[in-house]
Structure 1
Amino acid sequence: MACFDWENGAVTGVSSNLRVVEIGSAAATSYCARLFADFGADVQKIEPPAGDPLRYFAPLTPMGQSAWFAFLNFNKSSTIIDPAAPNAIARLTAMIENCDILIDGRDVDPADCPSIDVAAIRKRRSRLIYLQASWFGREGPYAGFAATDTTIRALAGLIKLVGPVEGPPLHAPDFQTGILGGLWGFIAAASSAVAQIEGEAGPSWSVSIFESSLVVSEYLMFEAFARGEVVHRIGINRFWPVFPGGIYETKKGWLGVTTFTPAQWRAFCDMLGLSGLRDNPALVLGEERLKHIERIERQFVPRLKARTAQEWFAEGLKRRIPMVPVPDTSDLLLDTEKRARGAIVPVVLGQEEGRTAGSMQRLTLTPPRRGGKVPAPGEQQSFAGSRERQSLAASRTLRSIGAGRQPLRGIRVIDFTMGWAGPLCTRTLADLGADVIKIESTQYPDWWRGVDRRPAYVDAQMYERAQAFCIMNRNKRGITLDLTQPQGLALAKRLLVGADVVVDNYSVDVLPKLGLGYDVLRTLNPRLVVLSMSAFGAKSLYRDCRAYGSTLEQGSGLPNVVGNAAGPPVMSHVAFGDAVGGLNGCAAVLVALFHARKTGLGQFIDLAQIECMMPFVAPWITVHSIGGMPPPRYGTRHPQFVPHGCFRCVGEDSWVMIAASDENMWQRLAILIGRSDWAIDASLRSAEARRGIEDEIESAIEAWTITRDADQAMSELQAERIAAGVARQPTDLLKDPHLRSRAFLQDIERAFIGMHPQPSIPIRDGSLPFAIRTAAPTLGEHNSEILSELLGLSETEIAQLALEGIIGTSMVSEGN
């Protein structure tokens, strides 16, 4: 028997006094509940006599158990309730009335859950936090659509831009929307748990899995809006606006490369001895280099084959180039650092023992459990030393609040973040009501304002027109402080004394070198929650590696399960890792805030963003750890659903994703495409039987789709309750009828760019999204407001700070 650390956090776990009930069957709700279990909550999973349908979802272990179900459900208990039993409703109602959080996936799959009146229960139990997940939300044109993970991702703009130019678009296996939706659901429920410590009643949350997935594509959505450009698929491992920004073959192994800034491009060219490319003024920015892809690749691709991926990685570290070897599953399992950190943990599935992805919320004072056991149907798990449960708000008079109330109002966050991941974390906290103060400097502002530091760009204040910056920094206040100067550092420390949370996503040594390491911060403010969102972790061997979201995906192992068997590892999205890191960072902050509000003790969170990508590979890690076989690549096909794929429609680069997820859906599809003989053929009832004629089935489907517009094909398929989704461009989502009907896009006025759309968060307390209160700050916009109101400085003192360059409202150009 392997040595497991299952009980880590059971006695002192942050959530050890929480009871969670999970009903229905959805990957999103299962993952949300597992995140609570990671920190000690008693999670009761309600299953029908046949078990959760996800118990049968591929990939399967050698003994036929679902590795996907295992990842989603270890450390939970299972309760079997037969809906036909006379006491089923009363039994389930009693369990819910005695819990703190109800997580409901019935809109995705009811899983034979007894019918219960949640509204009536909530009237009796006002403290109950209720989270309901659905594919699309309960209102809107798509509300009744049949869906799968890939049809959702197609509609969310996450598939069309991936793969060969000629198509079909490629995509990762089915382990993405459930993780994204689960993280958003956890953020909703955990923020309410924080608020409930202050005596607030439990809200009724809803989370749209479709809208949850847009967090990955919103960057391209709004960049396209700002530029008026339509981005096209430009080949495997090629993405706008970064080049090179893909995966390349070396002498041994594959290497992930990202050259975003001009300095990184010059260093890359120097490393390869390509001075002609380095010194070409027409190739300074990635967008400029994209116009010459073939010519540039002809020069550097052969040179990369002169050394191994590991050798190039070492060279990249010296030159501060974001490069990383692309591991396969066996590499991940042999990675001692990931095992030591708890990124890969032991898991028991009945008689089988393997490995899976652990919790990515690396709290240091109240760490998560490391590994665990997957419950058999009906199995109760107990953890030695668990405390007697006490209701979240048992000792307080609950305050009734209206829908849409901000659960994090009154919490102050000091934001030392740049780019995407860190600002998304703090934006989410701000959207939920926190007072987020973003600290930049005129010398080094957020690089998402633009990496072009040439005088023409700066003098025209183009850094105030960056759409990406605006969507990631709304609802925040902005101040500039030169932290390299004693006065600037002293002012930052004074702000930190009155704060609840600090977030940074710099390299691990930046804040400590400035005199703002955790040893200093906890002395200033013992209740402070400090989140460090570095790429590899504060003490990692790779802590000095430069990284972007693309680097995180390249180094996570995910590309090795995407694409065709004979092809290279395939990136699924150029900066997927940023969005995922941001959501995990927010989730970690909420867990630590929950603890701080109960105990008065802050703590350090050592989040490694590369580890946050590992849940997307978790099932393959488990299967490989038990059976020793590397994961197969399916291209656009599926290990469980036949047929499944992206099919060409009428028009240029027009595609629709189709999946037959059960026998009845297959029969309806066969009839719709004119093959009634297949529908009545008993020998084709199982997916495995159909796999023998998969080529023929796909040809018949494409003969049908090629005569139809993609939206028409989706409409006809959905009318027959067949899972289908148009492969959308990210920019298409700006006019998506479903998003418009749900007011997902909100128009906001801002200086320099005027009225522009912003995405809502996908979690709602009521029928409407949380309102976006303020636009992103211009550089130093709130200097006077913050320095006078929070720190008590006079107008004269503030003017002197500006005169000395400690604060300012204009970016300093290169060379100044």
Structure 2
Amino acid sequence: MTARPEPDHLATASAPAGQPLAGLRVAEWSRSIAGGYAGRMLRDAGAHVTRVGAPGVSLPRPALAAYLHSGKDERPGTLAEVAALAADVVILELPDAPDDEFLAGFGDAAVVVITPWGLRGPWAGAGRPWSELTIQAESGSLSMRGLPDRPPLMTGSSEGLWITGAMAAAAAVAAVQGGRAHRLVDAPVLEVTAYATNLFQDIGASLAGASPATPPARHRLNPSVEPAADGWVGFNLASAQNHEDFLVLIERPDWLADPQMTSHAGRYQRYDEFTAAVRSWTRRHTVAEIVEQAAAFRIPCAPVHNGRTILADPHLVDRGFYQPNALDPGLLEPAPPFLFDGVRPRRGQEPPPTGAAATSAAAAADGPDDALPFAGLRVLDLGTWWVGGYVGTALGALGADVLKVESTRRVDGARLAGLVPATQDHWWECGVFYLGGNSDKRGITVDFSVAAGRDLLARLIADADVLIENYSPRVLESVGLDWDAVHAINPRLVMLRMPAFGLTGPRRSMVGYAQTVEQFSGLCWRTGYPDADPHNPSGPADPMAAANSLFALASALLAARRTGAGTLVESPLAEAALVMASEQVLAWTADGVLLERLGNRDAVAAPQGVFPTAEPDRWVALTVADDGQWRALAALSGLEGWADDPGLATADGRRARADELEARLAAWTAGQERGALVDRLLAAGIPAGEVRDGRFVHDHPHLAARGSYQPFELPWAGTVPLPRLPVRAASGGWAHRRRPPTLGEHNAEVLGGELGLDEALLAELAAGGVLGTVPRGVT
């Protein structure tokens, strides 16, 4: 990493512990969770954040605003005055795309613009009304969530807005380290939501040759959230071994000889029978007993918390995760979900905004205008699944040389999740999560569980700038590669660790994936029909944790440019999910309100829901956000009595009669063509959207026009649309330049050509299983 010259206001003092962005000046103009959380993250990492005005703020309760904005310098003003602050970073959350002349007024600052549709595309700048529900519908995620005999189901915790904010903050810290040409960043909520909640269905559909004529399956995960004797517990069967061990756990070892009951597809074919057996067992045990027994089998399992029970969880108590708000000590809020060198940033009095250790936009001014933020960085990517995959891919798109390290004994589990049968040639190169999250990398295999492999990995570490991993903590520690050892090998290395539950605490060793932490955090508690079980939102915990991790890593790299010193960055998967679920804790501690599941309804807007159309299983989503929109809907629908009923003139009155309104709306929409109905609603100023098929969201008219998906010709997989970074430089410079690597594809190039191993040694290591291109056990 090369140091860059710094302007006077950033060149003197060292950054306080846990505050790598100290000295960075941020201007924020925010409207919702997305912009507010972007500023919250920057402030937590030490930046001085000035929030101008309170433009049309859309937050459901004051406690949420207190969490998002405490510690910021609040001042009145207009949007035009934001540029006068001469900030290094500007966060603009706007209802639609602004004009180019306005954006040109921010000079060399890194400017991140959060809008519903983005800065370009057919829907940008058109004033198209929207709501969080209609964004989710258009993104494709509703098509797979819910029960088959009920309307498609939205997620319950504004996940798309939180993830947009986290990705915006990460992009801001990256952009401030690059050239001027790439400092305008486009952060569209629709594109983020499509990326974060679709589970790469579009890749799977391409591999399977799926047809849009056949509607996608909609079901509850099985097993998922299950009733225990004293609450709810959640499971996630992430491997074939988990499947088999789970049958033993629920006392059905007889099913081990049944191919259906040991397969993912088979469990759904016999859904009722399987679920009955699971619940017969879980109802006889407490949550604590189930979690303990599952842990003995290393089956991912967690209690399903809500805003009240999460506060007593011993792991979070031990880690001090919930802290009093600085202005209202009775209000408990999540702590910053990342640590630097073991120090979690503390909220409170900030250092002066001058003379601190950060690099600003002006610090990169002497470099090339088209310089990518992380050009010249060497990254060792031991990351797995979606979280690790995204961080490495983002670093690669931003200019780093990323080496993805797997072993033939332990390939990235993302390779194993897909629709291609194991009988197909090179099936492990067709995993949907692998292909979706591993562009812009070179791939090598090193089995570091053996001495020869550890020696190779240590040599790679010695020459790297960044090491990322998201194993359980014991994996690297068991082979002598914990932070102390890595830091001794390379004192300037920045190491990012992303364990499920963190490096400390009683749940430290628990296995966890996105589904697990969605259950643990409360995200499941808020997602679901009001009269049914909690429901996994299925996906957003991973991209939220990935964005959180990229932000923390980019912040550490910013500080390292000046100091040259290495840093340990800790970014737990569960803590990022807990931030998304934080409204529950805020409501409970501020108001004593336990938030529950609302299905597709909203706490403020009414009516809101998903309704049938004339086409089978083709749905439309709509939101009435204010009384004017209600009058427009009453006029458009022509439904008798609505326009003149005083009881329906207010949102409170409409919420009290939600069942009646939704039934009549469903009868009205059921006879209409979906696209034409949405056009009529939009023309009347009513937020509406089609419930798009998530398998074909790459063909969405707006996303396709924006180039949100990039076709790649892949070995053994054919031509597949892969998602671009959903938040990226408007210049197009943060593009994917490499397809995902095949297993061990670059062994000779990296280990031979760059590390200097001769052909004979490479062959010897391959013969011993240290290197390879085929997963062990596959013939």
Give the structure-2-normalised TM-score: 0.91
Is 1:464 matched with 2:429? yes
Which of the numbers 523, 534, 540 marks the counterpart of 1:558?
Answer: 523
The Cα offsets for residues 31-89 of structure 1, whole Å up to 9 and x where unpaired, read as 11111011121111111xxx4433x632x3xxxxx2332232222121112x5xxxx95
Residue pair 1:159, 1:171 contacting (<8 A) in 2 also: yes
Separation of aligned partners in 2, 1:299 and 1:40: 51
Structure 1 counterpart of 2:6: none
Instruction: Please give the residue correspondences for 1:231-630 in structure 2 after superposition, counting only pairs within 5 Å.
Output: 232-235=216-219, 238-239=220-221, 243-244=222-223, 246-348=224-326, 353-364=330-341, 367-370=344-347, 383=350, 387-388=354-355, 392=360, 397-402=365-370, 406-450=372-416, 457=422, 460-573=425-538, 575-630=539-594
Which of the numbers 45, 69, 78 marks the counterpart of 1:73?
Answer: 69
Amino acid at match of 1:37: R
Question: How far does residue 394 in structure 1 lie from its aligned partner after superposition?
Answer: 5.1
Amino acid at match of 2:337: M
Instruction: Please give the residue correspondences for 1:658-807 in structure 2 after superposition, counting only pairs within 5 Å.
Output: 658-675=622-639, 678-679=642-643, 684-766=648-730, 768=732, 770-807=734-771
Separation of aligned partners in 2, 1:70 and 1:714: 36
Task: Find the residue that maps to 1:282 and give its secondary structure.
Answer: coil
Separation of aligned partners in 2, 1:422 and 1:93: 36
Separation of aligned partners in 2, 1:447 and 1:394: 42
Task: Find the residue that maps to 1:353 and give its secondary structure.
Answer: coil
| Segment of structure 1 superposing worse, 689-698 or 212-221 | 689-698
Amino acid at match of 2:393: R
Question: How far does residue 759 in structure 1 lie from its aligned partner after superposition?
Answer: 0.9
Separation of aligned partners in 2, 1:469 and 1:299: 33
Which of the numbers 187, 193, 204 marks the counterpart of 1:207?
Answer: 187
Structure 2 counterpart of 1:57: 59
- Alpha carbons of structure 1 residues 599 and 768: separation in structure 2 relative to 1, 3 Å: closer
Structure 2 counterpart of 1:4: none
Give the structure-1-normalised TM-score: 0.87
- Alpha carbons of structure 1 residues 215 and 9: separation in structure 2 relative to 1, 3 Å: farther
The Cα offsets for residues 154-188 of structure 1, whole Å up to 9 and x where unpaired, read as 11122232222211222233522211111121121
Residue pair 2:63, 2:590 contacting (<8 A) in 1 also: no
Residue pair 2:291, 2:302 contacting (<8 A) in 1 also: yes
Residue pair 1:742, 1:768 contacting (<8 A) in 2 also: no
Task: Find the residue that maps to 1:140 and give its secondary structure.
Answer: coil
Residue pair 1:577, 1:613 contacting (<8 A) in 2 also: yes
Amino acid at match of 2:171: A
Question: How far does residue 756 in structure 1 lie from its aligned partner after superposition?
Answer: 1.5
Structure 2 counterpart of 1:149: 132
Question: How far does residue 769 in structure 1 lie from its aligned partner after superposition?
Answer: 7.2
Separation of aligned partners in 2, 1:659 and 1:688: 15
Question: How far does residue 763 in structure 1 lie from its aligned partner after superposition?
Answer: 2.2
- Alpha carbons of structure 1 residues 805 and 383: separation in structure 2 relative to 1, 3 Å: closer
Structure 2 counterpart of 1:121: 105
- Alpha carbons of structure 1 residues 694 and 806: separation in structure 2 relative to 1, 3 Å: closer
The Cα offsets for residues 113-136 of structure 1, whole Å up to 9 and x where unpaired, read as xx99544434xx33x111111101
Aligned length: 758
Separation of aligned partners in 2, 1:757 and 1:688: 45
Residue pair 2:156, 2:528 contacting (<8 A) in 1 also: no
Residue pair 1:495, 1:790 contacting (<8 A) in 2 also: no
The Cα offsets for residues 261-303 of structure 1, whole Å up to 9 and x where unpaired, read as 2211211111222122122133332123222212222223212
Residue pair 2:379, 2:403 contacting (<8 A) in 1 also: yes
Question: How far does residue 354 in structure 1 lie from its aligned partner after superposition?
Answer: 0.4
Question: How far does residue 502 in structure 1 lie from its aligned partner after superposition?
Answer: 0.9
Residue pair 1:201, 1:401 contacting (<8 A) in 2 also: yes
Residue pair 1:527, 1:602 contacting (<8 A) in 2 also: yes
Task: Find the residue that maps to 2:141 and give its secondary structure.
Answer: coil
Residue pair 2:607, 2:623 contacting (<8 A) in 1 also: yes
Amino acid at match of 1:228: G
Question: How far does residue 395 in structure 1 lie from its aligned partner after superposition?
Answer: 6.1
Separation of aligned partners in 2, 1:203 and 1:116: 14
Question: How far does residue 694 in structure 1 lie from its aligned partner after superposition?
Answer: 2.9
Structure 1 counterpart of 2:92: 104
Question: How far does residue 400 in structure 1 lie from its aligned partner after superposition?
Answer: 4.8
Structure 2 counterpart of 1:32: 38
Task: Find the residue that maps to 1:484 and give its secondary structure.
Answer: coil
Amino acid at match of 1:101: V
Amino acid at match of 1:221: D
Separation of aligned partners in 1, 2:157 and 2:298: 34
Separation of aligned partners in 2, 1:726 and 1:190: 35
Separation of aligned partners in 1, 2:762 and 2:294: 43
Task: Find the residue that maps to 2:722 and give its secondary structure.
Answer: strand
Separation of aligned partners in 2, 1:564 and 1:570: 8
- Alpha carbons of structure 1 residues 507 and 11: separation in structure 2 relative to 1, 3 Å: closer
Separation of aligned partners in 1, 2:684 and 2:634: 11
Residue pair 2:97, 2:119 contacting (<8 A) in 1 also: no
Task: Find the residue that maps to 2:385 and give its secondary structure.
Answer: coil
Amino acid at match of 1:548: Y
Structure 2 counterpart of 1:42: 48
Q: CA RMSD in A?
A: 2.8
Task: Find the residue that maps to 1:22 and give its secondary structure.
Answer: strand
The Cα offsets for residues 356-406 of structure 1, whole Å up to 9 and x where unpaired, read as 222212223563234x5xxxxxxxxx635665468725566533524xx53
Residue pair 2:380, 2:404 contacting (<8 A) in 1 also: yes
Task: Find the residue that maps to 2:570 and give its secondary structure.
Answer: strand
Amino acid at match of 1:399: G
Structure 1 counterpart of 2:7: none
Separation of aligned partners in 2, 1:224 and 1:431: 25
Separation of aligned partners in 1, 2:474 and 2:569: 15
- Alpha carbons of structure 1 residues 447 and 173: separation in structure 2 relative to 1, 3 Å: closer
Question: How far does residue 469 in structure 1 lie from its aligned partner after superposition?
Answer: 1.5
Task: Find the residue that maps to 2:302 and give its secondary structure.
Answer: strand
Is 1:650 matched with 2:607? no
Question: How far does residue 734 in structure 1 lie from its aligned partner after superposition?
Answer: 2.8
Instruction: Provide structure 1 residue ranges, at least 5 long, that are not aligned to the other structure.
Output: 1-7, 61-65, 373-381
Separation of aligned partners in 1, 2:40 and 2:585: 18
Amino acid at match of 2:527: V
Amino acid at match of 1:57: L
Separation of aligned partners in 1, 2:548 and 2:575: 10
Amino acid at match of 2:59: F
Separation of aligned partners in 2, 1:458 and 1:790: 35
Task: Find the residue that maps to 1:184 and give its secondary structure.
Answer: helix
